[in-house]
Chain A
Amino acid sequence: MGEWAGKTVLVTGGSTGIGNAAARAFRDNGARVIVTGTRGSAADYAGTDGDLSGIDYHQLDQGDLAAVAAFDPGVARLDALVVSGAKVAYKRAEFVPEIFADVLATNLTGPMALVMRFRAALAAARGSVILVGSVASFKGTIGQPAYSASKGGLLTLTRTLAQALGGEGIRVNLVAPGLVRSKMTAITWEHPDRLAATERQVPLGRIGEPDDIAGPILFLASDAARYVTGTSLVIDGGLSA
C-alpha cells in the first residue's frame, strides 16, 4: 500500500481491459490516477469490466493529434504514462488502406504524440513511459496487418525514445501481452473451440487476464526498475518461449 502515494499516473485506454487493470493497481497502491477512454463519461462504462472508482476519467481519441495536443488533465509532474489505448479491425478490414491508416493513428502515432505532449511533465518527475505492445510486436498476425505493424512500430519506438529521452531521466519500456481476456479479444475467447485451441498452445495452459499484465506494468514503472530502459517484457504464459 502506498508505494505510489503522492505520485501521478496517466493511463490511456484505462477504462477497460489491461489499461483499467493497470489503473486499478496504481490506484490501490496510492497513486493519483487519470485515465482516458473513448466514451463521453465514466458512467458510460457501467456494465463493462472497467472499475473507475477513485479514478479521474477524461474522454480522448488518442488517434486525433489535435485532441492529444489540447488534452490537459492538469498535471505538471507525471510519474508514469501508460499508453494502453489501441484498436483493431477484424474481417480483413485492415487490408483497406484507410482503415490501416486509422489503426496506425490510434496505435502508433497517437502514443508518440502522447509522449511528446507529456515529455516535460515526465522529465519534471523523472518519470517513465510504458507502452503496451503485443506479441504482435514480434510476429505477424495474418488477418491484422495494421495492428501488427503498429505494435511492431511501438517496439522500435520504445528503443528510440529510451535513447532520446534517457538524458532527461525518462525511462521508456514496453510490455508485450499475449492473448488477454478483454473486450478487444472477445472474438477469440468467446468462441469455445477457438479458446481451447489457443489455450492448448500456451505452456501455462490458459489465456491471460488483464491483472496478469498490471503487475509487470507497475514493476517497470516503479523505482525498482530504475536501471531498466528501452526493453520489452513479454507476458504470454510462455507462448513465444
Chain B
Amino acid sequence: MSNWAQGRTVLVTGGTQGIGKAVAEQFTAQGASVTVTGTRSHISCYDDPPADVAYIQADLTWPEARAEVAAHFHALDVLINNAGRGSAREYEQDEFEAVIDTNLNAVMDLSVRLHPLLKEARGSIVNVGSLASFLALKETPAYTASKAGLLGLTRALGDKWANDGVRVNLVAPGFIETRMTEGARQNPERERRLMKAIPMLRWGQPAEVANAILFLASPAASYITGQSLAIDGGLMLR
C-alpha cells in the first residue's frame, strides 16, 4: 500500500486547515504533487498551512472560481472534495442556498469539470461528508441537507463513472478536533454531552480522517465505489 501516491497529482479543496490540511500533508509525505484551494488571498494568510503544496485562491461557491480551478490542471489522479462550511443563519433562505452551493453544487460542478482528467488517469474522488450525511443537525439544515445530498451524489457518480475506471466514495467524519468544532470544545457542558454520545469517548483527529481518505483513494480500495465510511469513534451506533 505504501508509496502508491508517489508522483500522483492530487487536488484537495479547502486544504489549508483541519481535515483538508491533514489530507494534503499525508499525500505530500507520500510523494504526491498536491494542490490545495482556500478562500484567502494567499496561503500565508492561514495560521499553520500545509507545506510544499501549490495554492489556488478560490471560493468554490462561485461557478467562475470552479472553472478557474479546473483550468489549472492538465492531469489529475485524485480529487478530494473537502471544502465545506456551515453557518449560523441556515434558516434564512439566501444563506441556505449559499451553503448548498458551497457544499453540494460546487462538488458536482468541480467533479464534472475534472472527470475527463480523472478518467484518463483512472483516478478517484473522495467526498468529505459528515455524520450529517446520515443524521439531523437541527441548527444547520443546509449543512445537513448538503451532506446528505453528497451521499446520494457519491452513489450516483460512483455508478455513472465506474465504467470509466473512476471510483467515487465518501468519508463521514464524526466530531473531529478542527476549527469548525472549536465552539463546542470551549463549552465544557456541551463538550461533556457530546463525548457521552461517542463510544470511544474522545474527539477524532484530522489525521484519522485523512487515513481513511488515503485508503479509499488507494489501489487497496480498487473494488470499492459509491460507498461511505464513517470515522466517528462509534458515534452513529447510538
Contacts and interface: CB of A to CB of B under 8 A. Distances in A.
A11 B221 CA distance: 20
Contacts of A229: 199-200, 233-234, 237
Given A203-B162, A204-B225, A230-B199, A215 B219 contact: yes
Interface residues on B, range: 35 or more
B222 to A, nearest CB: 6
Contacts of A212: 222-223
B227 interface: yes
Contacts of A204: 162, 167, 223, 225
Interface in A166-216: 166-167, 178, 202-205, 208-209, 212-213, 215-216
Contacts of A226: 208
Contacts of A238: 158-159, 162, 225-226
Contacts of B223: 178, 204, 208-209, 212-213, 235-237
Contacts of B162: 202-205, 237-238, 241
A209 B230 CA distance: 24
A121 interface: no
Given A163-B199, A237-B162, A216 B212 contact: no
Interface in B184-238: 199-200, 204-205, 208-209, 211-212, 214-215, 218-227, 229-234, 236-238
A219 interface: yes
Contacts of B233: 227, 229
Contacts of B113: none
B71 interface: no
B200 A219 contact: no
Contacts, number: 113
Contacts of B237: 159, 162-163, 229-230
A224 B224 contact: no
Contacts of B227: 233-235, 241
Interface majority SS (helix, strand, loop, mixed), chain B: mixed
Nearest to A237: B223
A203 B200 contact: no
A216 B231 contact: no
A215 B236 contact: no
A228 interface: yes
B226 A215 contact: no
Interface of B: 1, 155, 158-159, 162-163, 167, 174, 199-200, 204-205, 208-209, 211-212, 214-215, 218-227, 229-234, 236-238
14 contacts: A178-B223, A204-B167, A208-B223, A209-B223, A216-B215, A219-B1, A224-B214, A227-B208, A228-B208, A230-B237, A235-B224, A236-B223, A238-B159, A241-B225
Given A224-B215, A235-B224, 17 more contacts: A163-B237, A163-B238, A167-B199, A202-B162, A203-B163, A209-B223, A213-B223, A218-B1, A228-B229, A229-B199, A229-B200, A229-B237, A234-B224, A236-B223, A236-B224, A241-B225, A241-B227
Interface of A: 159, 162-163, 166-167, 178, 202-205, 208-209, 212-213, 215-216, 218-219, 224-231, 233-238, 240-241
